[in-house]
């Protein structure tokens, strides 16, 4: 029962981190752009799509659970939670690159099925740029997010080792 409560507490804290980061990100987006929150949400759904957003948020949430469990959990389980978080952070990068390649493939595929004439060139370019926009925005969002998650996990794991008087996995600093 206590383990279940520990897992729920970690999930709640990770969800708080995720929702707090989303709220700050939305506030910054509203301040920087001329769009309101529904406009930004509509843009995100149109550019990224619901499947990417769900997978992305699920992987970020998993990495945050790993971070929370690693910093609050028992010393014996820290390495496995660190690995869980790192795998989820790597999954974010993999997802971003996969969607990048998918968007490029869809864009090129749309060219193959259409005849290019002076009358159709504008519509073809519009479809092509829409697919490329999705492709590159997934990379622009996914790779930095993955890097930040990895950095947070590595620093927290190193601090947890130092707190127990253990050397870091790479040896002493400067070695």
Contacts of 24 (CB under 8 A, 6+ apart): none
Tell me the pLDDT tens digit for each residue of 76-92: 788 899 999 999 999 99
Q: Give the residue extent of every domain in the chain.
A: 2-163
Tell me the pLDDT tens digit for each residue of 45-59: 988 989 999 999 999
Cα distance between residue 143 and residue 93, in whole Å: 5
Tell me the pTM: 0.82
Neighbours of 108 (CB within 10 A): 12
């Amino acid at each position: 029962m206590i383990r279940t409560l520990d897992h729920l507490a970690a999930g709640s804290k990770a969800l708080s981190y995720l929702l707090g980061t989303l709220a700050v990100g939305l506030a910054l987006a509203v301040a920087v752009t001329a769009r309101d929150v529904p406009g930004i949400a509509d843009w995100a759904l149109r550019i990224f799509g619901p499947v990417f957003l769900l997978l992305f948020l699920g992987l970020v949430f998993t990495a945050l659970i790993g971070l929370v469990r690693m910093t609050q959990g028992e010393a014996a389980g820290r390495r496995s939670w660190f690995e869980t978080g790192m795998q989820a952070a790597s999954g974010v990068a993999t997802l971003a690159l996969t969607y990048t390649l998918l968007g490029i493939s869809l864009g090129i595929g749309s060219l193959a099925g259409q005849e290019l004439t002076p009358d159709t060139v504008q519509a073809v370019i519009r479809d092509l740029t829409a697919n490329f926009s999705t492709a590159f925005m997934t990379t622009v969002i996914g790779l930095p997010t993955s890097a930040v998650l990895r950095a947070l996990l590595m620093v927290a794991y190193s601090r947890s080792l130092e707190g127990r008087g253990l050397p870091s996995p790479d040896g002493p600093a400067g070695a």
